[in-house]
Amino acid sequence: MSLSILAIDDSRTIRDMLTLALTQAGFDPTVAEDGIHGLEVLDGMQPDAIITDINMPRLDGFGFIEAVREQPQHQTTPILVLTTESAPELKARARAAGATGWIVKPFDPAKLVKALNMVAGTGTA
């Protein structure tokens, strides 16, 4: 069974790259273009993991993570932050909001897949 992944990023290029990398790895990706859209797509979905950018219009990654963690059915869903940001205080803020991990762009598809397999519980790399 393939893992279901929700990926949120305001960059069409990044969404396309994520879709390609995740599909090639055998995952079932769904994409959204910002935090508000991500919450709309998440409604009625039970992804195995979520990937989100931080800097997005309408609702940034921090607000998105907090909103996801307020939903009982998504309190334990792994959330990886995928961003150009690398400041320790932003990582701490993301962790405090409920993020599971942090990956800096540009991302290595193999490392992303490995991280998803680790956090989504398959344990395979």
What's the pLDDT at 85? Answer: 87
Which parts of the chain are beta strand (E)? Answer: 4-8, 28-32, 49-52, 79-83, 101-104
Check whether 1 has a pLDDT greater than 70. no
Q: What's the CA gap between 15 and 31, in Å, rounded? A: 7
Average pLDDT in the 86-110 region?
93
**Domain coordinates of the chain in residue numbers?**
4-119
The per-residue pLDDT of the chain, averaged, comes to 93
Under 8 Å between Cβ of 49 and 119: yes
CATH tag, 4-119: 3.40.50.2300
Q: Which of 65-79, 81-95, 107-121 has the lowest mean pLDDT?
A: 107-121
3-state helix, strand, coil in the chain (%, to 5): 45, 20, 40
Q: Return the axis-axis angle of helices 109-119 and 12-24, rounded to nearest 10°.
A: 70
What's the pLDDT at 76? Answer: 94
Percent of the chain topping pLDDT 90: 86
**pLDDT band at residue 125, thresholds of 50, 70 and 90?**
very low
**pLDDT band at residue 2, thresholds of 50, 70 and 90?**
confident
What's the pLDDT at 9? Answer: 97
